[in-house]
Amino acid sequence: MTWDILCRVVDNHGDLGVCWRLAADLARRGERVRLWCDDASALAWMAPQGQAGVQVHPWPEAAPAGGLGEVVVEAFGCEPPLAWLQAFGQAARPPVWINLEYLSAEAYVARCHALPSPLMAGPAAGRTRWFYYPGFTPDTGGLLRETDLLQRQSAFDARAWRHDHGLADGALAVSLFCYEPPALASLLARVAQAGAQLLVTPGRASAAVRALPPPAGLAPRWLTARPQPAFDELLWACDLNCVRGEDSLVRALWAGRPFVWQIYPQDDGAHHEKLQAFLDWLQAPPSLRAFHAAWNGLAAPELPPLGPALLAEWRACVQSARQSLLAQPDLVSQLHAFATEKR
Residues catalogued as catalytic: 15, 246
φ and ψ at residue 231, rounded to 5 degrees: -65, -40
φ and ψ at residue 100, rounded to 5 degrees: -80, 115
DSSP SS3 for 306: coil
Q: Are 99 and 77 in contact (CB under 8 A)?
A: yes
In sequence order, the β-bridge partners of residue 34 are 4, 55
CA-CA distance, 238 to 221, in Å (whole number)?
Answer: 13
CA-CA distance, 2 to 70, in Å (whole number)?
Answer: 6
CA-CA distance, 167 to 116, in Å (whole number)?
Answer: 51
CA-CA distance, 39 to 10, in Å (whole number)?
Answer: 9
Q: Are 11 and 245 in contact (CB under 8 A)?
A: yes
| Residue 46: count of CB within 10 angstroms of its CB | 21
DSSP SS3 for 98: strand
Going by C-alpha positions, the residue among 98, 102, 99, 97 that lies closest to residue 134 is 102
Alpha-helix runs per DSSP H in 29-179: 43-46, 82-90, 108-112, 149-155, 158-164
Provide DSSP, 25-36.
HHHHTT-EEEEE
Residue length of the chain? 343
